[in-house]
Structure 1
Amino acid sequence: MNFYQDKPIIPQRVKRAYMCYIWIACAVWFETIVSMLPLDSDARQFIFMLLWIPVVLSILGATLMALTYSVKEWREWPLLVMMAVLVVMAVIFLALDVRGMGSSDINIGWYVAGSAILILLSLTRYITRLRSA
């Protein structure tokens, strides 16, 4: 008797997409926490040079993977919502941080809220999919 024949199989692309979104959200939280620490400018620059450059490169790769997997697995609705949240976070970053429009408190609020949405959707959907599988 085969016990595994009736259980749905979670595709590896969906698992990877969820993990990419979790990584992006955790990296954004790391950046906001480090920027809020009471450090002098030399220590903050050292932390950013040592840790943030590799993290940014991994975020770029994770973003491309997550967006690609979200488009491929379009029937998985949380991936589409997380893709939209990620695009909104990128637009907010370009509009508020790069152009200097808005205060830093608003920017941090948007990043924390967007990251929380990404993590909550990823974890809840991923855990419920694992339990049903």
Structure 2
Amino acid sequence: MDNPDASEDESYIARRYADGIPITVISDTLTPEETGPWRGQTTIVPRARAMDAVADLRKRDGETLVFGSRTLWTDLLAHGLVDVLYLMIGPKIVAGDHRTFKGVPPTGLYLLDARRLEDSEIVLLTYTVAATS
């Protein structure tokens, strides 16, 4: 499990998975058999129930982290279910033709931090999401 080439952040995440951190996957196609070694700690939620499931997770656990799904976090932003947004932006995002937040109503984002990830072309931007009334 210990990888000497892994960063401190990567090692932390690997330890959390190994410790059995609960995983919720929003998918209409994934099956339990496809969750591999994390089957026992994974809950699959259909997309139609995604907003309710995430709202329940936030109430129960207080903190929820979403990895990689532009479609999901766009919906979460639109439903007011995001407090902090971490954007990892690389050359393909900057030079691409996809709107990252298509369909999201105007949202007040306030920059908390900006840094370049070591030995990469990736920039990490951290925003807090303003409460809407």
Give 1 or 2: higher strand fraction.
2
Give 1 or 2: higher helix fraction.
1
Which of the pair has the greater relative contact order for Cα pairs under 8 Å at 6+ separation?
A: 1
Relative to the length of structure 1, the TM-score reads: 0.25
Relative to the length of structure 2, the TM-score reads: 0.25
